[in-house]
Amino acid sequence: MPDYHFNFDVKYSPLEKIDVNEIVAANKEQWFNQTLSQINGSVLRVGIIQGEFHWHKHDDDDELFYVVSGKLFVDTGERTFELGPNEGVTVPRGVMHRTRAPEKVVMLMVENAGIQPAGD
């Protein structure tokens, strides 16, 4: 299992330009997650990942995965979503899932600000 790094600090304030490319260029970790902005009760996060996340679920929260670069697999108990650049999927609350990235993936996630990324 990779060493997960979740950065919950909000990197960009309202009316500040969000630069995902800058974050990607500076990243040296295999599994990196940074909160970019808070929007009402939700957050926008960037994930830079390679490897497999563990199976988990969020009892009270939906989670959207949107691929910027690379190929991401989102497994659920029912099916596997293969996502390329500019593709995404929303995993509804209560659904067991995991993400997999055989090679480096940059993705955006939209989720409740209070979500526990590793699952409930």
| pTM for the whole structure | 0.91
Spans of all domains in the chain: 5-112
Q: Domain 5-112: give its CATH code.
A: 2.60.120.10
Burial class (CB in 10 A: 0-12, 13-18, 19+), 32: buried
Confidence (pLDDT) at 120? 60
Asked whether the beta carbons of 58 and 120 are under 8 A apart, the reply is yes
SS3 (DSSP) at 21: helix
**30-37: average pLDDT:** 94
Local confidence band at 118 (pLDDT 50, 70, 90 cut-offs): low
pLDDT digits (tens, 9 = 90+) for 57-113: 999 999 999 999 999 999 999 999 999 999 999 999 999 999 999 999 999 999 988
User: From CA 44, how far away is CA 106, in angstroms rounded?
Assistant: 13
Tokens of 119: 């699952």
Residue 20 has pLDDT above 90, yes or no: yes
Confidence (pLDDT) at 2? 57
Residue 1 has pLDDT above 50, yes or no: no
